[in-house]
Amino acid sequence: MFNRALTGVQLKPWLKSKYLVQSVSFPVRSFCNSQIKYSNKGDESDKPLSNAVPDFQSELFEETRCPPLTKPLKPFLHPIKRSFDYLGITGRNNPQTHNNLYFPRHCDIVIIGGGIMGCSIAYWLKQRGHDNGLRVIVVERDPNYTRASTVLSVGGLRQQFSLPENIQMSLFGAEFLRNAKRLLSGENLEGPDVQFHPYGYLFLATQKGADQLIENHKLQTSLGAKIKLFSPYKLKEKFPWINTDGVELASFGQENEGWFDPWALLNGFRNKAIELGVEFVKADTVGFETEDTLVHSKPGVGESCNYNKLKRIHVRLTNGEVRTIDFSLCVMAAGAQSGEVSKLAGIGIGTGLLRKALPVEPRKRYVYCFHAPDGPGLDCPLTVDTTGSYFRREGLGGHYIAGKSPTANEEPGIANLDVDYTFFDQQVWPEIAQRVPGFENIKLKSAWSGYYDYNTFDQNAVIGSHPYHGNLMFATGFSGHGIQHAPAVGKAIMELVVDGRFIDIDLKRFGFDRILTNHPVFEQNIV
């Protein structure tokens, strides 16, 4: 019954794919933001209008087959709960009551991952018209967030990106943070103090990188960001502690840039979401089930056929039991694990539109904390050196943090979160000490590491529906800049769900379609 292959055998294979792209979206049409354009006129013009690379086109026209997913499981209903249901007693809206008795069996929207993305999306969905009746469930396997990127990040906010979407999302994030205490407060809920430190970002460029900096600056300022360019002379005047050797140009954010406490923002979103009625379930998502859905024929296209629509997730509780939750729409916000979890829905292991995997994987990044009595002091922005090493002040009392993204050949293993101290000694320290002579005298105090939710395709977010699984949306792949974009992404997903399109910021270019059609949208300013 479940996972049966498509039955429209009379259709040409490529036509079947096209037919599905058009048709599968009907149950959730308003959620789709597909950019792949198809024409309905005649045989020739049935080919796609996109100018995708031929290889990828042939994949697109291959018949889409969803491989067999998790074996169906009967929904569990506790006998006492059955009696309570009969009497009309419910434990809904109280996450504390998600035990054997009150485990939720169905919802409108299930969000996989309760990090900053999942919590922001949940908040925005329920915030839109307080009691909009949507039942939203967040499935989070580790409510202590021990390995979540959110709590292991350095909480930076900047407008210095090279893509308009990223700049606009950061501007939105800055405005949201300014009002977070008020927006995330409630009757009996105090809003978070996100402790924003408005000390800016400082990007340094060599002669080779100066043109890109100028181009970025034009775009950033045209969108309302307050970024200023500095010659080496002016740079030294503003920050006397810096060595300007090798610096051709610098850009400095004068407003809306700095860093904040990601843990406080996460809790703010989470607590407010709970107050608005979002339910949190502590469980690991371990599978998806589909149901055969009949796609009705259209004149001139082909016969009716079935498609495997995602129907429910399987979650493993801490006691090892596996339960199911039925949903209308699922949002993938599992951070660095999103690529792996998406495979459970057949993405990357099927054929046709399901052949391409979600290219999001964990990449380990180290953050080193040190004491430097002769360092820059209070007026120290998050500085990104020409070498790629970065540093910023951490609290008061002469403490700083620093790090660097390794080159492709140096990528460390991801099996654990152990820190490599030689990376600091051999790479980071020499580079930052060259830039700030005051960093020659330091004492390394501590270090941690976390996983970037790294998009190997173009280091940018993937936002919106999957072209085949129209009721699966992505909000992942932020590659090191997700914290600051969480408020904007949460709102964007809410707009897709409620309004059927992006309203505030047009994020269509970040859709999954670009992966299928091989159209990367590169962000130049990845730190």
> Which residues of the chain form contacts with ligand FAD (CB under 6 A)?
112-118, 139-142, 145, 148-150, 152-156, 284-285, 333-337, 341, 365, 367, 450-453, 476, 478, 480-484
Pick between residue 154 and residue 242 the one whose CB is nearest to ligand FAD.
Answer: 154
How near is the Cβ of 258 to ligand FAD at its closest, in Å? 10
**CA–CA distance, 250 with 488 (Å, rounded to integer):** 28
**CA–CA distance, 218 with 212 (Å, rounded to integer):** 10
**CA–CA distance, 484 with 200 (Å, rounded to integer):** 14
How near is the Cβ of 196 to ligand FAD at its closest, in Å? 13
Angstrom CA distances, 34 to 102, 298, 353, 466, 514, stand at 37, 20, 12, 8, 9
Contacts of 320 (CB under 8 A, 6+ apart): none
Pick between residue 153 and residue 168 the one whose CB is nearest to ligand FAD.
Answer: 153
Return the SS3 of 176. helix
How near is the Cβ of 186 to ligand FAD at its closest, in Å? 22
**CA–CA distance, 94 with 275 (Å, rounded to integer):** 9
How near is the Cβ of 8 to ligand FAD at its closest, in Å? 33
How near is the Cβ of 59 to ligand FAD at its closest, in Å? 27
What's the distance, CA 182 to chain centroid?
25
How near is the Cβ of 437 to ligand FAD at its closest, in Å? 26
How near is the Cβ of 335 to ligand FAD at its closest, in Å? 3
Pick between residue 145 and residue 370 the one whose CB is nearest to ligand FAD.
Answer: 145
* Alpha helix segments (H runs only) across 256-371: 262-275, 338-343
Closest of 365, 370, 327 to residue 451, by C-alpha: 365
Contacts of 70 (CB under 8 A, 6+ apart): 286, 287, 288, 289, 314, 344
Pick between residue 26 and residue 522 the one whose CB is nearest to ligand FAD.
Answer: 522
Pick between residue 328 and residue 476 the one whose CB is nearest to ligand FAD.
Answer: 476
Pick between residue 352 and residue 477 the one whose CB is nearest to ligand FAD.
Answer: 477
SS3 assignment for 403-419: ECCCCHHHCCCCCCCCC
